Structure formats: structure tokens, C-alpha cells
A and B are shown apart, each in its own frame.
Chain A
Amino acid sequence: MAENNSIWEALGFRKASGVGEAGWGRTLVVAIVSLIYFLPVLFIIFTAFKPQDAALAVPPTLSPTSLFGLIPQQFVFTPTLENFGSVFMRSMTPGGAPEATGFDRYFFNSIVIASSSVLLALVIGTLAAFGFSRYPLKGNDTYLFIILTTRMLPAIVVIIPVILMFRVVGLSGSYTGIILLYTAFNLAFTIWMMKSFFDELSLDVEDAARIDGSSDIKVFFKIALPQVIAGLAATFVFGLILTWNEFLFALLLSGPDTRTVPVAMNQAVSSGGRGTDWTLLAAIETLFLIPVFLVTFFLQNHLLRGVTFGTVKR
């Protein structure tokens, strides 16, 4: 390996395991591809900083700065933070004083509901996946497939019985109800995903540990689990993203107090007595993006460190 990588290691760029290393040339290529891929998101984020009247300007305004004259003035907008304030406080009646929109509550709800249901699904699902992988039941594949079918139908079909059930049990509009539902919603994916990671592990190490007298529980926690951290991270990220943005169940099962951001976001699509409020929608989405973006970013290390045990495939 080249010596000059050590600077980057010192700066925190860990050396790769896996398929090898590449230099700055690759960085340049990937940077171009990634930036192009990111442009539609960047535009939304920029829109969040635009004054309202610039949102639909023709030609479209593309940048908050002219980059020292590099970008023609007609594509430049003057950034403002006003829209972020409007997310939480704005006038809801013509000429009325600004009032609280409840978005602080909606953000709180989204965080509580998504994080607890994804974690719950991860715990239950990982156990089940290990079970399915190491101690196959009679008709193992059938069970797995039935679990998968729970994800196959559009939510609209199963929603009415769920609403009824919640009403009878008194779960409508409660955190418990929606968290349990989302847990189930995430389980299928969690189980399938984690099972595929467990299946890839070598059994030799586990068997050796057992011969050395480790209990099954110890084998799971000390040997199997550390090897699938990449899998756990990826599953958590996917689960979080799907749950974070889930809309239909949230619309129909949450009450005014447990409403989540994706439902409330439509306030900006047509509620101020007009169509889309572009800058407000962009501001809500930008704020809403931050938590899940950060989680993904910080789990990325785990995600990419991969399986470091150097195990041999079965």
C-alpha cells in the first residue's frame, strides 16, 4: 500500500478492507457523479433559502452566490432564513398574527415514533433472523415467505381492519399503536435482511466456540452479532428511512397529538388557501432531512467497515 495514504489515515480516512483502494482520480470521478446525483436534492435545499417570490422565477434561480461572477446574476437568489421560521410560526389567517403551527410537536412525534419502532423491529427481527438462520423450523421457508407477503399489499387494503382494531382496543391516536404497527411494518425487511447476513457467516467459528464450551447465547452475542454490524447498520438505516417517510398509516392512525411530519407536510402543498408553498415545503423537507441524514452519515462507518473478521464463506 502506498505510503502517502497515511496522511488521510491521520485525518480519519480509514484504510479499506474489501476490494482495494483507489486514489484521488477515483475521488474526482465519483465526486462528479455524486454531485449530479445530488442536484435535485440540492435544489430543494436551496429553495428552502429562497425568498418566496424567487421560488418560481423564470429562469430558475440556482445558486445563493454568484461564485465571484461565475454564475450569471439572473440565476442567483438572495438567501433568507425566513422560511425556516415559517415552519414553526406563521400566520394561518389572512392578515392574522403569526401563530404556532405545531411543527415542533410533529418533529418530536416523528423522531419518537420512527426511532422506537425501528429499534424494536431490529431487536425482534434480528433474534428471529438468527433463529431462522441457525435453528431452521419445520417449514422454515414457508414462514419466511409468509412474513414477506405482509409487505406485498398496498397499505390502503389492510388499513380499515387496523383502524377498527385500534378503536376497539383504544389505541387510535396513541404512540403505542402506531409504534407497534411500524414495528410490524419493518419486521419483514429486518428479518430477511439480517437472515441473509447471518447466512453469509462461517459456521466453523461458531462451532469451534461451542466446542470450547460457549453457550448458545454467548455464541450469538460474542461471535455472530459482531460480525453482522454492517448488516445491523444497513437495516437500521433502511428501516429508519422507510418509517421516517411513511405516510398513509400515519395519516389514518395518528391523532392530532401524534401526527408525524410527512402528514403535516401537506400543509405546504395546499393549505394556505392556495397550491404549493414551494419555499415552505422545501424548508420543512430540509429540516426533516437533517436527522435521518445525520444518522445515516454516522452509521456509514459501520456500514462500510464491513465484515472484518476475515471469515471464510461456508
Chain B
Amino acid sequence: MTVVTKMKGFAAATGFAATLLTGGATYAFADDVTLTMAVPDWPPTRVMKKFFDEQYKPASGNKVKLDVDFIPWPDFYTRVNASLTSGEQKYNFIVSDSQWLGAFVEGGYYRKINDLVDADPDFKKTMESIHPAVYNAYSTYPYKSANLYGFPQFPDVLVTYGRKDVLCNDEEQAAFKAKYNEKLPCTGDEISNMDWNTFEHIGEFFMRKKGEKLAGQVLDDDFYGIAYQAGKGYDFSTTSVHTFMWQHGGNIWDETKAPTGHAEGVVNSPESIAGMEHFLKLLKYMPPVVKTGTMDIFVSDQLFREGKVAMNVDWVGLGEASLDPKSSKVSDKLVFGMAPGLRGADGKIDHTEQIGGQPFVLTTWTTPEQTKEAVAFVKWWLSPEMQNKFAAAGGQSAIKSVYEDPKYATYRPWNKAFAESLDWQKDMWHVPQFFELLTQQQDQFDLAITGKQDAKTTMDNVAKFQEDLLKNAGLIQ
């Protein structure tokens, strides 16, 4: 007892001495501010929490605590949604998929931050330093409007994961050249300059049975050419399909054109259908699990890490696991490039693709004092210094001065492809009906992926559903 009391007395005395030394001002008004944050449990958020605890010194002199609720990914939406809609008012910060913005803004949960940005020139500068495509995707609702809500937590794009040992093998190079009269992409730049046709050839070329040879070695199991997400869960086929639709000159229902923009005639335009057909055409070069409709981002990543495919198009955010020899059989054979694109008549490749990643947002019940600390924290987090540290620890940054810095590409092997891809990013709808639009089209795409329905019927069904739903909601006239 006495020891404890003495310790307390000592602590108080030290605190008092410190107050005298620093002039007293900051200590005299120091408050305890707790910011509660809901985040998915994965490395980028763990890194953020770690940096905050180790390095963040609030300029206000307050004692700021970041209370982070790490929620496993598969249940993240369910937990956050239930917390928000039940009026629990538990979290001040929420890491949110950009598509959730509309639903939760309309519900009155996400705080509009225009006033904060306008009031603080530093903050405005920070926001303006974000890549415009990411800024639009992560901050604006309606999409590309002037209303701001979020800041980037982890920006994510699709890139190509490749197996160097297979792609750069001389025998395979020669055989590929002989068969398709083109070079088998081997370096990162060659992969970044690869179109879907080459990607398809790679798919066809590397379909090998058990007992056949791959890069000079006899296979003890079947090997497959390519993989990308084509699964029924969440947005695990939408992401790929949107990419194809856009590149073929089609479009999804465009909320920036509401209320005169339609779904019917756009989503099922000949170009969009061509995109869908292209997406479906490549599935036959993928591992058999694709036929079950469960080829999601994790399954294709796992197949790649287990060394079952030559190339995989997947999120940058899953890259760490490929690098780690514990979880990856190809950790020393990796090569990364931009995701394939569609080569136009002019020979240029269109790399337009669906953006991923997450912004984080403030909630409306956050008190002015908490908001002040939150903005200070966000400014610190998005400062080039911290973003560089974040990137060095395996994060990604959408801050211009950071990703354009030559040293950025040295942090991780996929960073060059990441930076090059940013210009091509587009986002899907931010409207509150997001989940209805998504689930219906995921169901329809699944029918096409598992071979129960052709591309045209699929896109017609999707277009009709969206047209009806959005008309009812008043988003289409």
C-alpha cells in the first residue's frame, strides 16, 4: 500500500515539475480525449494503431487515446452496420468501404467534413494532395460531387501477380514465342504493358496436367494459367466485370449522370455485354474452383501462393502474404505489374479498373473536441512523413508527393505498379442502394460464371433490375 501511495506521490511530483518546466500552459488545460475507432483486423490497420501509439504527439497537448476495435474482416460490415443503425453511437472513426458512403451518409451517421476542410488551410492542402481518383472514390458522396466525407486509410488497386520462375524460363519463353508469335511477359514492365489477349494466351499456354513439364520440371499436380476474382461473395466478381465493361467502352449505371442517366441501355449496351463476354471467356484457363462460383480474392490469392497458377490479378493489399515464405511457396519468384488492359486500335492499352481499398470517416456524434483531435490526427496520418513510414511498413499511399517519390517503388515489389495504376481508377456507385445493386448483380454474374446463363441475358437482367430499383428510389427519372 505505502509503496503504491509513494509511487503515486512521486508521479504527481514529476508531473508538477514537468508542468513548471514547460511553462504550465499545455499541462494546465490538458484533457483526456478518447477516439474510438472501428477497423477491420488486418496489417494496414494494425500498423496505423502501432504508429499512433508509438509516435503520435498531439499538438494540442491533450492526452489523446485511440481506442481501436479490431473486428475480423468477414464480419466487419455486419458489426459496423448493426452498431450504426441501432443508434449505439459507439465509434468516432470508422474504416469504411467507399461504396458504403451513401447508405451511411443518408442515415445520418457519417459526418460531412467540408466545414473542417474549409476552416483549416493545412487540412485543405492535405486533402488536395490526394490523388484525384482516390479522392473522388474515398471522399465524395454523391460520387464526384463537392460533398466530402472520408480520408484514405488504405488505398488499394488491382495488379498482376506473376511467377518469375515460370514466365522467365527460357524454354517456356521460346515455346510461347513459337506458338503465339509474341514475347512471354517476364519483367514488371512487360507485364504492365500486357493486354488481355496476351493474358489469355498465358492462360491457355500454362494449362498443364500432372506429369507434364513446367519450366523444365515434372509437375506433381495440375497447373493452371491464370486467375482473377470471379466469386459470388460480396463484390468478388463485380470488381472484375466492371473493369472489363469500362475497358470495352461500356458503363455501369453512372450516378454522376442522375437523374437522367439510365441503367437500361447502358449496363446492357453492346459494349458492356462485350466486356462481360470477355470476362467469361478467360475463366476456362483458371483452376477448377472457379466453376463452383467461389473464386474470391482470397481463393485466387491462395492458389497463387500455393504455386498453382502462373498469374493472378488481385489486390495489392493481399501482397504481404505472397512475400512471406511461411505462407507462400512462391515468395522468391515474384514479379508484379499493372493489371492487364484492353489494347485499343491505336495500340495503347486502356487500364481502367475498379478501385478497392478503404477510406475512414468521422461520425456525426463526435464532439467538437474529439473532432479537433481527429482532424489533427488525420493531418498527421496523411502527412508525407507518416505516409512514407506507412508505405515502408507495408501500407500504400495516395498522397502525390509520396507515391511519386522514387524511393516509394523500393518499399515493396508491387509499388511501382500501384503508382502507375492510380490514374486508371474508377469507383462503383456510392448511392444508398449500393448493397441491393451489388447483391443482385453478384447473383446474376454468378449464374453466368457457373455457365447457367449467357452474357446478354445476364446484363439484361441486371439492367432491368437496376432501372426498376433506381426509378423507385427516384434516382432515375
Chain A residues packing against B (C-beta within 8 Å): 52-53, 56, 58, 92-96, 159-160, 163-164, 167, 172, 251-252, 255-256, 263-267, 269-277
The residue from A96, A160, A274 contacting B86, defined by CB atoms under 8 A apart = A160
The residue from B47, B72, B301 contacting A267, defined by CB atoms under 8 A apart = B72
Residues of B within 8 A of A276 (CB): 298, 302
Q: Whole-angstrom distance from the CB of A211 to the nearest CB of chain B?
A: 57
Residues of B within 8 A of A264 (CB): 72
- The answer on a CB contact under 8 Å between A167 and B393 is no
Q: Whole-angstrom distance from the CB of B173 to the nearest CB of chain A?
A: 27
CA distance A269 to B317 in the complex (A): 16
The residue from A58, A266, A275 contacting B302, defined by CB atoms under 8 A apart = A275
- The answer on a CB contact under 8 Å between A252 and B50 is no
- The answer on a CB contact under 8 Å between A93 and B47 is yes
CA distance A91 to B88 in the complex (A): 32
CA distance A95 to B73 in the complex (A): 21
- The answer on a CB contact under 8 Å between A273 and B320 is yes
- The answer on a CB contact under 8 Å between A271 and B41 is yes
Residues of A within 8 A of B301 (CB): 274-275
The residue from A163, A256, A267, A270 contacting B82, defined by CB atoms under 8 A apart = A163
- The answer on a CB contact under 8 Å between A167 and B43 is no
Interface string of B94-123 (1 = CB under 8 A from A): 000000000000000000000000000000
Closest to A264 in B: B72
The residue from B44, B74, B393, B394 contacting A270, defined by CB atoms under 8 A apart = B74
Quick one: given A93-B46, A93-B47, A94-B394, are A252 and B87 in contact (CB under 8 Å)?
no
Residues of B within 8 A of A266 (CB): 72-75
- The answer on a CB contact under 8 Å between B298 and A252 is no
Given A93-B50, A167-B87, A276-B302, 20 more A-B residue pairs with CB atoms under 8 Å apart are: A52-B326, A53-B329, A93-B47, A95-B393, A96-B46, A159-B82, A160-B85, A252-B82, A256-B69, A263-B72, A266-B72, A266-B75, A271-B42, A271-B72, A272-B327, A273-B44, A273-B321, A274-B301, A274-B305, A275-B298
- The answer on a CB contact under 8 Å between B298 and A56 is no
* Chain A binding surface SS class: loop
CA distance A251 to B82 in the complex (A): 10
- The answer on a CB contact under 8 Å between B299 and A92 is no
Give the 3 A-B residue pairs with the shortest CB-CB distance, closest first: A275-B298, A266-B72, A274-B321
A-B contact pairs, 23 of them (CB 8 A): A56-B306, A92-B46, A94-B47, A94-B324, A167-B88, A172-B90, A251-B78, A252-B79, A252-B82, A266-B72, A267-B72, A271-B42, A271-B73, A272-B42, A273-B44, A273-B317, A273-B320, A274-B302, A274-B305, A274-B327, A275-B296, A276-B298, A277-B327
Closest to B222 in A: A58
Q: Which of B183-221 contact A (CB under 8 A)?
A: 220-221
Q: Whole-angstrom distance from the CB of B192 to the nearest CB of chain A?
A: 23
CA distance A95 to B411 in the complex (A): 13
Interface size on B, as a range, is 35 or more
Quick one: given A53-B326, A273-B321, are A96 and B82 in contact (CB under 8 Å)?
no
Q: Whole-angstrom distance from the CB of A169 to the nearest CB of chain B?
A: 13
Residues of A within 8 A of B221 (CB): 58
Interface centre among B83, B297, B324 (most CB of A within 10 A): B324
Residues of A within 8 A of B74 (CB): 266, 269-270
CA distance A64 to B304 in the complex (A): 26
The residue from B43, B73, B324 contacting A92, defined by CB atoms under 8 A apart = B43
The verdict on B17 contacting chain A, using a C-beta distance below 8 Å, is no
Closest to B329 in A: A53
The verdict on B318 contacting chain A, using a C-beta distance below 8 Å, is yes
Closest to B79 in A: A251
Residues of B within 8 A of A269 (CB): 72-74
CA distance A273 to B88 in the complex (A): 29
- The answer on a CB contact under 8 Å between A251 and B75 is yes
The residue from B86, B318, B327, B394 contacting A167, defined by CB atoms under 8 A apart = B86
CA distance A211 to B329 in the complex (A): 78
Q: Which of B34-80 contact A (CB under 8 A)?
A: 40-44, 46-47, 50, 69-70, 72-75, 78-79
Residues of A within 8 A of B394 (CB): 93-95
Q: Whole-angstrom distance from the CB of A53 to the nearest CB of chain B?
A: 6
- The answer on a CB contact under 8 Å between A273 and B86 is no
Quick one: given A58-B221, A160-B82, A160-B86, are A274 and B318 in contact (CB under 8 Å)?
yes
CA distance A251 to B75 in the complex (A): 8
- The answer on a CB contact under 8 Å between B43 and A272 is yes
- The answer on a CB contact under 8 Å between A94 and B320 is yes
Residues of A within 8 A of B305 (CB): 274
- The answer on a CB contact under 8 Å between A172 and B318 is no
The residue from B78, B319, B321, B329 contacting A252, defined by CB atoms under 8 A apart = B78
- The answer on a CB contact under 8 Å between A273 and B299 is no
- The answer on a CB contact under 8 Å between B79 and A273 is no
Q: Which of B319-338 contact A (CB under 8 A)?
A: 319-321, 323-324, 326-327, 329
Q: Whole-angstrom distance from the CB of B82 to the nearest CB of chain A?
A: 5
The residue from A58, A94, A160, A256 contacting B393, defined by CB atoms under 8 A apart = A94
